[in-house]
C-alpha cells in the first residue's frame, strides 16, 4: 500500500517543500534537479518535491535522472494536501495537479517562507528558498492551529538516507 509521510517523519529537520505539476515537464525537471544539487550541502535539511504523479513514475524518473538527495512524494490519492497548501489546480490542462510553490518549514515545524509562483511555466526563486532554509527566522509565518499538514504519500520506503 505504500508509506505515508507525516509531520513526524522529518521531525527536527528543516524542510524545503517544492510543489510541482509533474516531474516530466521541463521546468519541474530542472527545478527538481537543481534542488537535488543544492540539497547535498544543506545540513539538517530535507528537500521534498511533491506532485500528483504516481509513486512508481517518480521512482523511475529519479533513477533515470540520478536524483538521490531529494525525496519525491505523491499526493495523487488525495487532494487534501493541495487544498490545504493552496496549490491544487482546478480546471485547464493541469486540472488536479499541484501549482508550483515553495514552502520552508523550520526544524520546529514552523512555516518560515512561502512562494507561490505566478505562472506554472516559471521557475521559483531558488536563492530565496535556499536563504530561508539557512536563516534563523525571527518572524515565522503562522499556519494556524493545524500546523504542518500530514497529506503526503511517499514514493519509496525510507532507509538510512531518505532518497528518491
* C-alpha count within 13 angstroms, C-beta hemisphere, residue 56: 1
Band the pLDDT of 43: cuts 50, 70, 90.
Answer: confident
Kind plus residue range of the DSSP H or E element containing 111: strand 111-116
Greater confidence, 163 or 68? Answer: 68
- Residue 136: the pLDDT is 46
Residue 48 has pLDDT above 80, yes or no: yes
Residues 6 or more apart whose Cβ sits within 8 Å of residue 75 = 50, 51, 52, 81, 82, 98, 151, 152, 153
Which residues are catalytically annotated?
Answer: 28
Pick the CATH number of 3-154 from 3.40.640.10, 3.40.30.10, 1.10.357.10, 3.40.50.970: 3.40.30.10
- pLDDT at residue number 2: 58
d(CA 135, CA 45): 12
Is the per-residue pLDDT at 154 higher than 80?
no
Nearest to 72 by CA among 35, 125, 110: 35
**Per residue in 69-93, pLDDT tens?**
999 999 998 888 899 899 999 999 9
Residue 134 is predicted with a pLDDT of 83
Domain range summary for the chain, segments of one domain joined by +: 3-154
Mean pLDDT of 1-21: 83
pLDDT, tens digit (0-9, with 9 covering 90-100), for 123-153:
999 999 988 888 744 444 444 333 444 434 4
Amino acid at each position: 500500500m505504500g508509506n505515508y509521510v507525516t509531520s513526524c517523519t522529518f521531525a527536527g529537520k528543516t524542510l524545503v517543500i517544492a510543489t510541482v505539476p509533474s516531474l516530466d515537464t521541463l521546468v519541474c525537471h530542472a527545478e527538481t534537479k537543481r534542488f537535488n544539487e543544492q540539497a547535498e550541502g544543506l545540513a539538517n535539511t530535507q528537500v521534498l518535491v511533491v506532485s500528483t504523479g504516481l509513486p512508481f513514475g517518480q521512482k523511475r524518473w529519479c533513477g533515470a535522472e540520478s536524483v538521490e538527495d531529494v525525496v519525491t512524494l505523491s499526493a495523487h490519492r488525495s487532494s487534501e494536501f493541495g487544498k490545504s497548501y493552496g496549490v491544487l489546480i482546478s480546471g485547464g490542462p493541469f486540472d488536479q495537479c499541484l501549482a508550483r510553490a515553495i514552502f520552508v518549514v523550520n526544524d520546529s515545524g514552523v512555516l518560515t517562507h512561502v512562494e507561490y509562483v505566478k505562472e506554472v511555466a516559471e521557475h521559483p526563486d531558488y536563492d530565496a528558498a535556499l536563504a530561508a532554509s539557512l536563516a534563523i527566522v525571527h518572524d515565522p509565518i503562522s499556519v494556524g492551529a493545524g500546523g504542518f499538514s500530514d497529506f503526503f504519500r511517499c514514493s519509496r520506503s525510507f532507509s538510512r538516507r531518505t532518497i528518491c
